[in-house]
Amino acid sequence: MAGAGISTSAGIPDFRSPGTGLYDNLQKYDLPYPEAIFTLDYLRSKPEAFFTLAKELYPGNFDPTPCHYFIKLLQDKGVLLRHYTQNIDTLERAAGVRDDLLVEAHGSFAQAACIDCSHRHDTEWVKSQIDKDAVPRCESCGGIVKPSIVFFGEDLPRRFGQLVSEDFEKCDLLIVLGTSLTVHPFAGLATMPKPEVPRLLINRDSVGERDILNPDGFDFIRTNRDARYLGSCDDGVWHLARGLGWASDFEALLPEKWRERAPLPLDPTDRSSAEAKGGDDRSTDTEYESEAEAGVSSNGGSDTEDDTDAARHRQDVINAVAHVEATVMASEHEAQPAKD
């Protein structure tokens, strides 16, 4: 499951960040709060704001990132049960993720309808209106014609509800990429796998952790079930691909500009890794050990508690990688590895 974090390196502007062109463009609409742009009330009062954003985000203006290609790689390896995305940029499709493996939980630009009479309108016509900074108006009633992007208070696409229960019954590893896990019901997916199913978070910040309101949230410290990589999503999937022995397959999918920007392999002799390594003689997955240490030690000092956390964290990441490996081997054993 993925959120906006997998698309930031595509250059998709964050309309919440001061100083970006899009933010400045939207300032003149005086949004009461950033998310108001995705509410029907605000759309009715100042439709220009949403259509300014829509023009900027329209599919075709951006290219997929390494994360999107990593999802394609999971598909090629035959281990992608489903990809759930919050994003409306359709970059998964652009990277070649198949329609049937994709759930665009917050809708897309693929359809458009009047918000008053629900009359469907041709998306090419809607795009042409948006391109010339006009608000698309319904030919029947004059209402605003909105692309089928899910606004706050609107239902998610039927496909989401149809697939969630059967998918999470079968899910044997959940990878959570680039989402703050704050927008529901999407965020709730992270708590839906069975209790023994490993979960791997790849995100800039640690999110979705267990607390009294979220009893099924991640527990990176006390269990070996949950693992996290804190950093950019692109770097995270690179390290995961390498850990799985898929680096060359991954590179083969990537356009050259992304191959050139691969992160350096993590150095197993890295100081922070060596410090906390202690008597551990595990010789594989050193990348993940050092990454785990680096992530933890940059967040805090080197007191005993942090060292213990780091050791657990390291073990969690190793477990997650081992689980992906086992799943891949099982699927290759069973049937058709999607090798080309």
Query: What are the Cα distances from residue 240, in Å, to 230, 234, 291, 323?
Result: 13, 10, 11, 12
Q: Alpha-carbon distance 182 to 202, whole Å?
A: 15
When asked if residue 117 is in the footprint of Zn ion (CB under 5 A), the reply is: yes
Segment near Zn ion (CB under 5 A), from 106-114, 185-193, 295-303, 310-318?
106-114
8 is in an annotated binding site: yes
152 is in an annotated binding site: no
| Cis ω before 32 (30° cut-off from 0) | no
Q: Alpha-carbon distance 135 to 132, whole Å?
A: 9
Give 141 or 326: the residue with its C-beta nearer to Zn ion. 141
Choice among 106, 121, 239, 313 that is catalytic: 106
Q: Tell me the two tokens of residue 291.
A: 């990454």
Residue indicated by tokens 């499951």: 1
Q: Annotated catalytic, 313? A: no
Q: How many residues does the chain have?
A: 340
With beta carbons less than 8 A apart as the criterion, state whether 2 and 85 touch: yes
Spell out the residues 6+ positions from residue 188 whose beta carbon is closer than 8 angstroms to its own.
Answer: none
Q: Could you list the beta-strand ranges (E) of the chain.
A: 83-85, 102-104, 107-114, 145-149, 174-177, 199-203, 226-230
When asked if residue 141 is in the footprint of Zn ion (CB under 5 A), the reply is: yes
Segment near Zn ion (CB under 5 A), from 95-103, 119-127, 215-223, 298-306?
119-127
204 is in an annotated binding site: yes
Closest approach of Zn ion to the CB of residue 199, in Å: 43
Query: What are the Cα distances from residue 114, in Å, to 176, 196, 319?
Result: 34, 45, 49
Cα-based torsion angle of the residue sequence 95, 97, 98, 101 in order, rounded to the nearest 10 degrees: -160
When asked if residue 140 is in the footprint of Zn ion (CB under 5 A), the reply is: yes
From the list 76, 106, 95, the residue with the least C-alpha distance to 1 is 106
Closest approach of Zn ion to the CB of residue 289, in Å: 59
Closest approach of Zn ion to the CB of residue 120, in Å: 10
271 is in an annotated binding site: no
67 is in an annotated binding site: no
Segment near Zn ion (CB under 5 A), from 131-139, 198-206, 262-270, 280-288?
131-139
Closest approach of Zn ion to the CB of residue 141, in Å: 3
When asked if residue 138 is in the footprint of Zn ion (CB under 5 A), the reply is: yes
145-149 and 107-114 as β-strands: parallel, antiparallel, unpaired?
antiparallel
Closest approach of Zn ion to the CB of residue 60, in Å: 26
For Zn ion (CB under 5 A), the number of binding residues is 8
When asked if residue 119 is in the footprint of Zn ion (CB under 5 A), the reply is: yes
Contacts of Zn ion in 264-283 (CB under 5 A): none
List residues forming the annotated binding site for NAD(+).
4-8, 14-16, 86-89, 179-180, 203-205, 233
List residues forming the annotated binding site for Zn(2+).
114, 117, 138, 141
Binding site for Zn ion (CB under 5 A): 114, 116-117, 119, 138, 140-141, 143
List residues forming the annotated binding site.
4-8, 14-16, 86-89, 114, 117, 138, 141, 179-180, 203-205, 233
Hey, which residues are catalytic here? 106
